[in-house]
Amino acid sequence: MILDGNLPEAVTRAAQALRDGALVAFPTETVYGLGADAANDAAVAQVFSAKGRPSDHPLIVHVDDSAKGAAGVAHFAVDVPPYAQALMQAFWPGPLTLILPRRPGVGGAAAGGQDSIGLRCPDHPVAQALLHACRARGVMGLAGPSANQFGRVSPTTAAHVQGEFGPELLILDGGACGVGIESTIVDCTRGAPVLLRPGAIHGEQLAAAAGRPVLSDEPIAGQAAAPRASGTLAAHYAPRAKLRLMDARALQTALDMLGADVQPAAQGPVIATYSRTVLRSRSSGVLQRRMPDDAAATAQQLFAVLRAFDDQGVKLIWVETLPDGSEWDGVRDRLQRAAAAA
């Protein structure tokens, strides 16, 4: 059921359910998460089962914002390097996940059995209210992967979550997510900050806050390989329709070749386009959606747009390739992985 996350009684009910080992979906500024007590292995196992997610694919653990997440970090992690602490000070609460050395005996199931763990302090009032209420009940962090079936489009509204899991799951409604794509992930276990997944916070911002370069996800001489991290599979974030990235000229050429031949199927349009460039089409079977010129605005609506195309029954989604610039890296990453799943 969907409860208003702004109501204290709804947050209390959700926190108690989590304390009792149940699953609860909750909003963050990035996407909605499917929450479980990160220290309860049985509850975490339910997350993997509900999502159809491999149990060795780690979950991000969300902690509250008390002293920039200090209590949660101390509970789950050890040997936090100074540059990681600087990133917490600069960007927490916010859309940044840090991979840190895991404290032995804590959060092993959520970490997918690794000796590292991903921690994040979300910047959403409902998420923070829930995390504070959980901490008061002895729950120090919530494992919270995106509340959708594994590999599919992430949810940015409570209705999206209910469409994935049905009416029985308790869902706190906090409105549409403001960022709209998952958090930036930085590995802090290999002696230098390494960017594993781009997001709303990009490399130049990370380097400025860390006071040192942020490396790309490549092997570091003398260091162990990168830990597994959420959302880094080659194919991910995929709608049901096949998604293809094309530049504006190729898009228009393809539409011109179609002419008026593509007619709407019984359930709706056959092809959808998502582009910054204004395109021409003579077919009533083509659904067009304008992409914002701004990277942040595109990120905020991206998953909702892909879900809407699926809901309208399109079979193909043609997306215009993105401009250069690090501010587009998060959206570019999601679209490339979605296209790889086609």
Q: DSSP string spanning 202-243?
A: -HHHHHHHHTSPPBPSS--TTSPPPPP-TT-SSS-SB-SSEE
Bridge-based pairing state of the strands 33-37 and 194-197? unpaired
Task: Pick from 22-26, 54-58, 211-215, 234-238 the range whose average pLDDT is largest.
Answer: 22-26
Predicted local confidence at residue 127, as pLDDT = 98
Handedness of CA 162, 341, 113, 189 (dihedral sign): negative
pLDDT-above-90 percentage for the chain? 84
pLDDT tens track for 158-178: 999 999 999 999 999 999 999
Predicted local confidence at residue 140, as pLDDT = 96
146 with 287, same domain: the answer is no
pLDDT score of 63 more than 60: yes
Local confidence band at 33 (pLDDT 50, 70, 90 cut-offs): very high
pLDDT score of 283 more than 90: no
What letter represents residue 229's amino acid?
A
Residue 70 lies in a domain: yes
Stated pTM of the model: 0.92
Residue 40, domain extent: 2-210
Q: What angle do CA 168, 94, 62 make, to 5 degrees?
A: 45
Residue 233 lies in a domain: no
| CATH number for position 148 | 3.90.870.10
149 with 9, same domain: the answer is yes
Distance CA(143)–CA(50), nearest Å, equals: 13
Distance CA(299)–CA(292), nearest Å, equals: 9
23 with 73, same domain: the answer is yes
150 with 23, same domain: the answer is yes
* CA 263 to chain CA centroid, nearest Å: 35
Per the structure, how many domains does the chain have? 2
Domain boundary among 189, 210, 231: 210
Domain boundary among 186, 210, 234: 210
9 with 151, same domain: the answer is yes
Residue 144 lies in a domain: yes
250 with 327, same domain: the answer is yes
| CATH number for position 328 | 3.40.50
72 with 129, same domain: the answer is yes
Distance CA(269)–CA(161), nearest Å, equals: 25
205 with 247, same domain: the answer is no
197 with 330, same domain: the answer is no
DSSP conformational letter for 164: H
Distances (CA, A) of 91 to 86, 161, 179, 220: 9, 27, 14, 25
Helix (H) / strand (E) containing 171: strand 170-173
Task: Pick from 61-65, 256-260, 309-313 the range whose average pLDDT is largest.
Answer: 61-65
Predicted local confidence at residue 234, as pLDDT = 62
Provide the terminal-to-terminal Cα distance of the chain, rounded to the nearest Å. 32
Residue 215 lies in a domain: no
Residue 252 lies in a domain: yes
Cβ neighbours, 10 Å, residue 89: 10
Helix (H) / strand (E) containing 91: helix 82-91
Residue 154 lies in a domain: yes
Handedness of CA 164, 167, 168, 170 (dihedral sign): positive
143 with 6, same domain: the answer is yes
22 with 123, same domain: the answer is yes
pLDDT tens track for 132-149: 999 999 999 999 999 999
pLDDT tens track for 202-254: 999 999 999 999 998 765 555 556 667 766 666 677 899 999 999 999 999 99
Residue 130, helix vs strand vs coil: helix
pLDDT-above-70 percentage for the chain? 92
- The pLDDT of 293-313, averaged and rounded, is 96
Distance CA(188)–CA(118), nearest Å, equals: 10
201 with 255, same domain: the answer is no
pLDDT tens track for 244-275: 999 999 999 999 988 766 666 556 688 999 99
Distance CA(316)–CA(151), nearest Å, equals: 18
Among the residue ranges 18-22, 30-34, 80-84, 337-341, the one predicted with the least confidence is 337-341
Q: What is the DSSP string of 48-68?
A: HHHHT--TTS--EEE---TTT
Residue 109 lies in a domain: yes
DSSP conformational letter for 328: G
Distance CA(71)–CA(108), nearest Å, equals: 18
Predicted local confidence at residue 138, as pLDDT = 96
Distance CA(20)–CA(1), nearest Å, equals: 17
Local confidence band at 189 (pLDDT 50, 70, 90 cut-offs): very high
Asked if 173 and 5 touch (Cβ cutoff 8 Å), the reply is yes
